[in-house]
Structure formats: C-alpha cells, structure tokens
Amino acid sequence: MSTPAQQFDYVIVGSGIAGLYAALKAREHGSVLVLTKSSIDECNTRYAQGGIAAPIGEGDSAQLHLEDTIRAGAGLVDSEAARILTEEAADRIADLVGFGVPFDTLDGEITLGREGAHSLPRILHAGGDATGAHIELTLTGVARLSRITVLEHCLAARLRVTNDAIEGVEALDCRTNTPLDFSCRVLILATGGAGQLYKVSTNPTVTTGDGIALAYRAGAEVMDLEFFQFHPTALRMPGVQPFLISEAVRGEGAFLRNAQGRVFMTEYDPAAELAPRDVVARAILTEMTKAGTDHVYLDVTHLPPSRVTSRFPQIYRFCLDHGLDITTDRIPVSPAAHYTMGGVRTNTWGETNIRGLYACGEAACTGVHGANRLASNSLLETIVFAKRVIQRSLLKELKVNEASAEAVSLSQPSPADVPPLDLGALQSLMWDKVGIVRDGRSLAEAKAVTSAWQASFGEPTDRPSHELANLLLCARLVTEGALMREESRGAHYRSDFPERSQAWHRHIVFRRHA
C-alpha cells in the first residue's frame, strides 16, 4: 500500500534566493516545504559577484532603468514585466535590508557601482564581490529560524498535474533513492538555470535545468531558450575550473587586451569594455580566433592595488591562491556559459499555463530579459517576481497564464549513429555546436545527436541520471529554438544569418503535446 502524500499549502522547488525569498513570504499564509536536491546553501545565486541593480541613486529613476533594460534586450523585452521590475526594485531592496543583508555603505549610504549597458551607477554590492553569497546566507539564516520545512538532498522528479491543475510533486531522496510524494495548492519552481549544458561554465554543478524540464514534461510552456548568455570574462588557467571575473571589474576601469597586449574593445563598440555582454563575448572570441589562443587578458594593473583588493576580495583571493596577483599581473579570461534567459513561460505574476504552478528566478521566463539580460537584473528579478507569486497565490481562485503565442512541440527523436552519452559528451556537443557563434549546419548536427540520445535514454533512477535527462531535454529545447530562429539577436548569434530580422521579432514557445 502506497504512503499517502504529505500535504502542504506551498511546495517550493529550489533553495536559491528566489526560492528562499518566496518561502519567507509564503510562511505568513500557510505551511511551506522547500525541496532542494543539495544542501540549502548550494545554489547558483550564492556565486553571483556583480551585485543587484536598483535605481536608488541620485539622478536615477525607474524609467531610466527601464530604458536600459529594454535597450539591452534587443527588441524582445516584455515592457510590462520590465516596468514592474524597475518600479518595484527599491521596495524589494528595502525588504532585503529588513532581513539583514549587509549591503556595502559609505558614510551611512549604500554605495553604487557601474556595469555594462547601465546609463548610471545603480549596482548594490555586499562584501564587494560576494553579493549573492551574502543575500543567500542571510535568507538561509532567517529561513532556518522560521516555520518552513526544508528537505535537503531531495530531488523533484515529476510534477503531478490533473486537468491542467497542479496536484503535487513526486520526489526522490538522493541519499537513499527512496521515493517521496507531496501534495500542495501552490507549487513554485525556483530551480535556477541550465548552465551545466556547456563545457565552459561559470555555474556550479547543481544548475541542470531541472525546473524547465519538469515543467515541459508536465505540459507547461517554455520560452526563449535559444537565448543563452555567455559571460565574457571567466578565469582561464590550465587545471583551474572557470571562475567568474565580475563585470564590475570592467565597470571599475579594467581594460581587455588581446594576446599582443593591445586594447581592442573600441574597435567593436563605442562603449568599449562596457558594451553589452553579447558584444563583448563575441569580440573576445574573435580576438582569440585571430591569435589562435584560448584566452585574452583583463588588465587592472593600472588601478590602485588597495582599490582592487578591497573592491574585489573574492576574485583577488581566488586568483592569488592559483599563483596570480591581479594587482600586478593581467588576468587570462575567456567567455563562459553564464545565464539562461529563457525558461518556464510565466506572466507578470509568475503564473504558468497550469493552474497552481508558478516559476520565478532563472528558471522562469517573464520576458524581462528579452534576448540579452542587462547586468545585475537577475538577482533583482528573483525577489521582485517571487514576491508577486505569493501575492497572486493568495487569490482563492488561482488563475492560468493566458497564451499569447503559438506553442510548438519538439520534433520526434530519430535514430542516428552517435557517440555514447555522458555529461562530458553533452557539454562538449553544446559548446562546439550550440555555443557563442552558431550556424545551421552545426545546429542540425546537434539536433540529430541530442534527438538520438533522447530516443535511447532509459528511465532515470538516481540524481545523476535525473540531472542528465533534464540537461538532455534542455539541450534539445535550446538547439531546436536556435535552429528555428534564422537571425542574430542579442545572445543568439548565427553566422549564416548575421543580421536581425523583423520577421523574428517574436518569441519561440515550446509545449509538449500529449
């Protein structure tokens, strides 16, 4: 006889900033369960160095922040979502201060930094380049003292949906492989992105696209997955895992130099080092290709050493631990997969097309980032839309996100002669064929291989096989979206269609059809 499902008002999958913030807001309105497949403090947001954007400085405004966000998004930003993001920013920062997040201050006022494509300084930091970690640790501490049930090492395996309404989630205890079952009125996906799709990535190993895969299999719509942001500057040293070198370093005045030591960004964009991330990443890739090297250099040696060490303590210590003193030595860097701009399609309240199923944070796609995320809007998005999810969930009759775009389904898997599937093979395929610069031939090859892998994939039985299955599904979605979009826009660049096309001034939405 099966064990009855445990009942909660809210089940939240994921323990990053989006999940914890939603949990802390939901605890006031019912019982809350947080499921996290690792420990509560292992997530992508804790690695966020750059900071969190908010228009709170002198001369700044929500309108200016909105304009910068829309400009960066290359024509695909949902203007209503972006308006909400920028207008609610100051109040959500106040919430974080209330929870105890120690933002950096000078003479009693929060200090603000400048990053690429922002017209004014509006980036808040905590502990210099440890902003994500400070927010995560603060919210974790509050959650541990709250009426919130947290199950660590517990992976969400399948969403239970009946008549287009959420009923609950089947999960797996990763330590014992024991199945678990939970029922709920509201289920919130806050699982982060799919950064582990790529061989070179700034993301931790937990970012395996779980929420996107869960939602798609349950019949929810996913959108914009072809737009994958590659951060221009990750540390590139032999034997060292890629380590993010924050955009804030360029905001402080660092220069990018090629293999010959020449500053080159002015040749690619008038904003030079502060150009949008997709422009900088492709410029670096071009310089690497010209020189036949796997890196360029980021140079802060002209800045006062005390400024560098106090402003970027994490980066300074990490590099020093690997024999590199960034106050005297140039930093070898190259682009790396960084942020999933697409995700589970939601409206501005975090609702999906399944009643009672919500998504927020990097797992969601509100349309606020468009084709190219504005720097440091991601942490802001987590708290703005997590709050709105809880607000909407209080309505007695839960709504359904109304579809405004035609959804397509993935093509049927087809057999092919392909190499054996493992995580490394998938990551290499995506890096080589569906990376920073793409073309139709490479994308078609990736589609054939991922399709064949899916056709032969068995039923997942443990955490590694569940994660690989989720990444494989996300790879199919990213690849097919990129193959369909015959243009270059934002982070999606195709060498065979290098120009932006008005015909593609629209979103690609996938939905599984029974």
Q: What is the pLDDT of residue 411?
A: 79
Q: Kindly provide the b/e burial profile for residues 303-322, where b requires at least 16 CB atoms within 10 angstroms of the residue's own CB.
A: beeeebbebbebbbebbeee
Structural domains present in the chain: 232-336 (3.90.700.10), 413-510 (1.20.58.100)
Kindly name the residue from 83, 250, 277, 311 that is annotated as catalytic: 277
- 343: amino acid identity, one letter: G
Give the C-alpha separation, 432 to 419, whole Å: 15
The CA-based angle 223-228-232, given to 5 degrees, is 160
Q: What is the pLDDT of residue 331?
A: 98
Asked if residues 53 and 60 have their Cβ atoms less than 8 Å apart, the reply is: no
**What tens digit of pLDDT does each residue of 464-492 get?**
999 999 999 999 999 999 999 999 999 99
Mean pLDDT of the region 268-294: 93
Q: What is the pLDDT of residue 408?
A: 86
Q: Residue 362: exposed, middle, or buried by beta-carbon count in 10 A (0-12, 13-18, 19+)?
A: buried
Least confident segment among 41-55, 195-209, 293-307: 41-55
Q: Which two tokens stand for residue 483?
A: 């193959």
Does the predicted model carry a pTM greater than 0.95?
no
Q: What is the pLDDT of residue 5?
A: 86
| β 343-345/222-223 pair status | antiparallel
Which string of DSSP letters, residue by residue, matches 200-247?
Answer: SBSS-TT-S-HHHHHHHHHT--EE-TT-EEEEEEEE--TTS--EE--H
> What are the residues facing 510 on neighbouring strands?
222, 408
Q: Residue 13: exposed, middle, or buried by beta-carbon count in 10 A (0-12, 13-18, 19+)?
A: buried
Where do the H-state alpha helices sit in 110-208?
A: 131-144
> What are the residues facing 244 on neighbouring strands?
234
User: Closest by alpha carbon to 388, among 368, 363, 359?
Assistant: 359
User: Closest by alpha carbon to 284, among 257, 317, 302, 324?
Assistant: 257
Per-residue pLDDT for 42 more than 80?
Answer: no
**What tens digit of pLDDT does each residue of 94-144 get?**
999 999 999 999 888 999 988 878 999 999 999 887 888 899 999 999 998
Give the C-alpha separation, 83 to 67, whole Å: 9
Q: What is the pLDDT of residue 290?
A: 96
Q: Kindly provide the b/e burial profile for residues 449-467, where b requires at least 16 CB atoms within 10 angstroms of the residue's own CB.
A: bbbbbbeeeeebeebeebb
Tell me whether residue 46 is one of the annotated catalytic residues: no
Q: What is the pLDDT of residue 22?
A: 97
Q: Which two tokens stand for residue 436?
A: 């920073």
Q: Residue 438: exposed, middle, or buried by beta-carbon count in 10 A (0-12, 13-18, 19+)?
A: buried
CA distances from 428 to 138, 186, 419, 437 (A): 36, 37, 12, 14
Q: How confident is the model at residue 514 (pLDDT cuts 50, 70, 90)?
A: low
Least confident segment among 238-242, 414-418, 435-439, 499-503: 414-418
Mean pLDDT of the region 236-257: 92
End-to-end CA distance of the chain: 29
| β 243-244/364-365 pair status | unpaired
Average pLDDT of the chain? 93
Q: Give the residue carrying structure tokens 């993001």.
A: 85
**What tens digit of pLDDT does each residue of 82-108 get?**
999 999 999 999 999 999 999 999 888
Q: Which two tokens stand for residue 299?
A: 């140079």
Higher pLDDT, 186 or 2: 186
Computed over its alpha carbons, how large is the radius of gyration of the chain?
Answer: 22
Least confident segment among 41-45, 62-66, 132-136, 146-150: 41-45
Q: How confident is the model at residue 50 (pLDDT cuts 50, 70, 90)?
A: low
Q: What is the pLDDT of residue 375?
A: 85
**What tens digit of pLDDT does each residue of 167-202 get?**
999 999 999 999 999 999 999 999 999 999 999 999
Q: What is the pLDDT of residue 338?
A: 94
Q: Give the residue carrying structure tokens 């970012």.
A: 207
**What tens digit of pLDDT does each residue of 341-390 get?**
999 999 999 999 999 999 999 999 999 999 999 989 999 999 999 999 99
Q: What is the pLDDT of residue 43?
A: 54
Query: What 3 state SS string does 405-470 have?
Result: CCEECCCCCCCCCCCCCCHHHHHHHHHHHCCCCECHHHHHHHHHHHHHHHHCCCCCCCHHHHHHHH
Per-residue pLDDT for 303 more than 60?
Answer: yes
**What tens digit of pLDDT does each residue of 399-419 get?**
677 656 678 888 777 666 789
Per-residue pLDDT for 1 more than 50?
Answer: no
